[in-house]
Structure 1
Amino acid sequence: MFPAFRSPRFLCSIGTLAATLAAWYVLTALTGIVAASRFPTPFDTWQALAQVVTVGYADGRLDQHIVQSVKLVLYGFATAAVTGVPLGLWMGYSARAQAFFNPIFLLLRPIPPLAWIPLAIVWLGLGDSAKVMVIWFAAFVPCVINSFAGVRNLDVPMLEAAEMLGLRRSRFVLEVMIPGALPMIFTGLRLSLQASWTTLVAGELIGSVKGLGHLLTQGSLDIYPAMIVVAMLTVALCGWLMTVALGQIERQLMPWRANR
């Protein structure tokens, strides 16, 4: 009924997760090689999860922390996609656009996203807008680079065929350039989504009262390793689910790559 669940790749993933959980249990709970004060046992982590789900921790329940973090990631990621992908396509298509934007982009690219936190606070205060700005900057760079590369790496026969057919500029962009660049565009979007989640914790240091980054920070201040692990695993799960959703969109737009 569900052939994907019987595929070797899926079974291998399940086996890896089971082996990791078993090693975690053996090292922490069974043998005590790793002290519980440094890394929690699976049971301690389960108790911390039950606490934050039912009673709450760090000014909110787990669902409230998740909603806040997902909202910030979506805002930052969507803004980066809307601004970064068109800029990358334009730079790849137009030599003038590349000549104008590339020097600015090369100057800004080496700056770590976390370095923008002080300016984000000065410009936008301690609200969500400052956090979204930091996430946007982290996600913006991969969008631009991969969209630019997607245009520059278009197949030469495809370009020659478009030239022979005498396609107008608008048709060339919509029917040749963008479809041809889609694989690299989605590669950039996946990298941008991952960058959004990795920057989330730092972004939520800016005056947060809820969010997974705030949950993790509060756990470290309270020296509560089990809650730290709960926050980390929740970030990993949310990031994975959003990546899977992005992959579904990619398969809908590029059905010829569905089996890759």
Structure 2
Amino acid sequence: MAWLEVDADGVVRTDALEKLLAGGGIGGVAVMAANNETGVIQPWREIAAACRAARVAYLCDATQWLGKLPASGLGDAAMWATGSAHKFGGPKGVGFVKLAAQAEGFCALPGGGQQSGHRGGTEDFPGAAAMVAALAEVEQSRMFLETERLRWRAEFERAALAAVPGARVVAAGAQRLWNTVSLAMPRGENHRWVARLDRRGFQVSTGSACATGTDGPSHVLAAMRVPPDEARRVVRVSAGWETSREDWLALAEAMGAAAREI
């Protein structure tokens, strides 16, 4: 296994990928469409094209992308793709794997021979139907809000940096999703910020939910070469569809109050 290099903003370096592919011996490539800690959007279209040219399978983890940006093109670009319903308003515990046409022998869950042998167990048909309906709904009715929500995120970042002198936005130079912001605070470990903001009615985190319970700095920040002491001061903000501009700005104000305490 080889890990792909990323730049200081956490964007996969396509030149490093192309060099790796040119060397041969690569059975498959897996890169997420957007990072779940920083919101950084990856060049998944370019990655898919490079893999296609090299005749190498490409798996796109679209979990964080879906529901924030349009799904169009993902299915055609990636031979394999994964997603989770709860990210776009569907039921928890339901997800999907989009398989390549030549996926003989792939089995996500052993057991019976359901779904052409790809997954054992009785299918959760209501859950799958609800997932499809939720994705159709979010694709049809919420995408027009993306530009407006990017403006709200930018306003929040300016207000937060003004309220907390010395703070910085992680991966500020990269394209990012409208709903995800990672802030490196100037002092105080991130759990102290989480506790103080929680008392003010704001639920932020020290990282992604799938990293809950792990010790030490985030592996995502480590790959971006963020120093360990700064990584322990990073707070992650993740907004939802019901989050308003006023909510964003109120959080920035709460961060200022928390900064004075810390």
TM-score normalised by length of structure 1: 0.26
Structure number with bigger Rg: 1
Per residue, is there more strand in 1 or in 2?
Answer: 2
Per residue, is there more helix in 1 or in 2?
Answer: 1
